[in-house]
Structure 1
Amino acid sequence: MTYEIQFCLGLTHHSWARAADPVAAVDATLRAIRVADAAGLDSVWLSEDPDGWDAVAVLAAAARETERIRLGTGVTNPYLRHPNLIAMSVATVDWLSGGRAFLGLGRGQAEWYSRALGVRTGRPPEVLAETIDLLRQWWRPPGRASSTGHFHVRDWARAIGPVQSHVPIYLAALGPRALRVAAERADGLLVADFASVPYLRRLIPTVRSWVAEAGRDPDSFRFYVRTGIVVTDDPEPVLERRKNQMALVNALPGMTRQIEVPGFDVPAIMARVREVMRTNEVLEAGGAFIDIRQVADFAAARRLIPTELVAAVSLVGPAAEIRARLRELAEIGVNGVFIAPPGERDAAEYAALIRDITP
């Protein structure tokens, strides 16, 4: 069975962090979302880290400037936002957008919260399961929830619920326990960047079988993959930049699982990258991405990461090549992929680009 591929836009706070002109940075972000909306993209996902922007505030602004695109976090977590805050934030975006909100949820990096921000983290997979259960209680009548787990919610009622009768929740997960939580409770899975085809060939049927075991419909369960598609006839500079992203994010604990490429000892490569990035040192002190960036040797990390490895797990290249690779992803069950922001393209040009790579 081949699944129809939908295109998504993923945005981070990084453009704001580098911006000399805040007004221009905000305008560029909202313009990108408007163009994606007009070009027919399925959804926009805004990342949320404890050292960055408030993703929900940006989504709320975008809700009033768009008409059809779905709006969600990509992702937030129950340590940065208590489940009650998540419930009210997503419901508010749903009202502002006329029923287009969704939630991208993950565990975050526990060290940031427990060591630097004084947040009790418990067992993350259990906390994620409890969070989803609480949200489902608050988002259906009568909007009242209780929990005896990590949060100890005592019969708390909410006056405002979402417009949608069912708000989609997509879980970002890599470990087996978190994947089980996704299969049993969520509407889909968000797979991290640099996921290889061999990994996805194993992951998707496994998770679908767990969805069925939970008595749910596996065909309605969605798989979104952060692909960062870039259409170009000169892929080398893009791949070199993507090495920075791999070094920063995939050096974190557990983040190499989805990088399975024959001929490369990825765990060994990333262990050396972790050393020059000083990832473990920063995490031990409770530091965040901003702290890693200040001490990391990105040039050394790029030298350690083979360009061929990055190319194997990146959708970067000519349109025909990307179209063929997307066809393969659709055949193994991927429902949604992420494409680079439009940049200077208008909606018609962005739409034409997407048509050119659609299988």
Structure 2
Amino acid sequence: MRLSVPLQYAGDPIRLMEQVVALERAGLDAVWVAEAYGFDAPTLMGYLAARTERLLIGSAILPIYSRTPALIAQTAAGLDAVSGGRALLGLGASGPQVIEGWHGVRYDKPLGRTREVVDLCRRIWRREVISNDGIYPLPLPGGTGLGKPLKLLTRPVRDSIPIYVASLGDKNVELTAEIADGWLPTLFLPEKASAVWGKALAAGRARRTVEAPLDVVAGGLLAIGDDVAGLRDIARASIALYVGGMGARDRNFYNDLMRRYGYEDEARTIQDLYLAGRKDEAAAAVPAEFLELSSLVGPAGHVKERVEAYREAGVTMLNVTPVGPDPVADVRTVREWLG
């Protein structure tokens, strides 16, 4: 099992990236750079490529609606070049709140778009002459008529950059297991994950088009100590934001996930409070059990058990957010456990 951390999209990016540099020395394997509607991820990823030596650098995620497939492929190839082959391309559909509200792009056909973007990226990195019939017609019909099929001008460091897909719904998770190198779930509860996603993952794996097994990236807050259990509460505001406010009342993927985990009443309460502007109360309504199952916080023995729970749930890259007094020491300890 490899070890990674997410670079949050809030806060001072330079300070956060300096911490990542220190964590690399402690044995960290990868960093995932978020974007949402904050700073763009590729800029920060390029900075990390210059400041680190062996760390894998992934986007988590680049929304497929915010860039053309060709630009996504170019960006990943450029990062792979300046990092010496350390890029991981994390993609996702995001949601209509961000895509239509921030990017001004219609949120439609997320599954079809994901499939075509992944296919086009791989063809572009192989330097094929690109034409495409589908959601992204290339060359563009009905334009000036001057468009022509092209291939990538520069030669990529690798002709196959690993592609990870963020997905939650059954159809999207099934597609991820079929075509992606890795899966980026969120709000992952190891003990409940199989009941929620097991059938979708099995169906996708049965049609898998990638030779290597699916890499599964999941984790949570990390703090090791006898008196750190209260740090789990740090996640309350973020969980309330996603479950309560990241989407409309009848179209919130994170709220749906909490319900599928069995927290139907709690998900409804959190959403009602959040949409009413009572954000602190929404955060307080996040179940303590949910916080415990989605984190690695507590005495060393407990955290070690949580690591094994993620391993047993099929996680192959443990993605942790260090929140304890000594993040470097905690990452080093987990690295030693993982071997």
Report the TM range for the smaller structure's normalisation: 0.7 to 0.9
**Contact in 2 for aligned 1:194/1:259 (Cα 8 Å):** no
Equivalent residues in 2 for 1:16-35 (5 A)? 16=12, 25-26=13-14, 28-35=15-22
Aligned partner of 1:353 in structure 2 is 333
Residue identity matched to 1:319: A
Out of 48, 53, 57, the residue aligned to residue 71 of structure 1 is 57
Aligned partner of 1:21 in structure 2 is none
Deviates further, 327-336 or 316-325: 327-336
**Contact in 1 for aligned 2:90/2:164 (Cα 8 Å):** yes
Out of 269, 277, 302, the residue aligned to residue 283 of structure 2 is 302
- Aligned partners of 1:275 and 1:257: how far apart in 2? 14
Answering whether residue 246 of structure 2 is matched by residue 246 of structure 1, we say no
Q: Secondary structure at the match of 1:15?
A: coil
Equivalent residues in 2 for 1:124-203 (5 A)? 124-142=110-128, 144-154=129-139, 155-200=149-194, 203=197
**Contact in 1 for aligned 2:66/2:103 (Cα 8 Å):** no
TM-score (norm 2): 0.86
- Aligned partners of 1:301 and 1:62: how far apart in 2? 35
**Contact in 2 for aligned 1:228/1:339 (Cα 8 Å):** yes
Structure 1 residue 274 displacement after superposition: 1.1
Residues 214/123 of structure 1: CA separation in 2 closer, same or farther (3 Å cut): same
> May I ask how many residue pairs the two structures share in their alignment?
324
Structure 1 residue 209 displacement after superposition: 4.8
Residues 257/226 of structure 1: CA separation in 2 closer, same or farther (3 Å cut): farther
User: Any stretches of 5+ residues in structure 2 without a counterpart?
Assistant: 140-148, 247-251
Residue identity matched to 1:354: V
Equivalent residues in 2 for 1:30-109 (5 A)? 30-49=17-36, 51-109=37-95
Equivalent residues in 2 for 1:317-356 (5 A)? 317-341=298-322, 345=326, 349=329, 352-355=332-335
Residues 226/74 of structure 1: CA separation in 2 closer, same or farther (3 Å cut): farther
Answering whether residue 312 of structure 2 is matched by residue 312 of structure 1, we say no
Residues 350/64 of structure 1: CA separation in 2 closer, same or farther (3 Å cut): farther
Structure 1 residue 31 displacement after superposition: 1.2
Any idea what the Cα deviations from partners look like across 1:304-352, whole Å, max 9, x if unmatched?
22323322332221121111121132133210111224888586x3553
| CA-based RMSD | 2.6
- Aligned partners of 1:196 and 1:328: how far apart in 2? 6
Residue identity matched to 2:114: L
Structure 1 residue 181 displacement after superposition: 1.8
- Aligned partners of 2:61 and 2:158: how far apart in 1? 20
Q: Secondary structure at the match of 1:152?
A: coil
Residues 125/345 of structure 1: CA separation in 2 closer, same or farther (3 Å cut): same
User: Whose RCO is larger (CA < 8 A, sep 6+)?
Assistant: 1
**Contact in 1 for aligned 2:189/2:293 (Cα 8 Å):** no
Q: Secondary structure at the match of 2:5?
A: strand
- Aligned partners of 2:53 and 2:118: how far apart in 1? 27
**Contact in 1 for aligned 2:174/2:203 (Cα 8 Å):** no
- Aligned partners of 1:318 and 1:129: how far apart in 2? 43
Out of 262, 265, 286, the residue aligned to residue 268 of structure 1 is 265
- Aligned partners of 1:156 and 1:110: how far apart in 2? 32
Residues 156/228 of structure 1: CA separation in 2 closer, same or farther (3 Å cut): farther
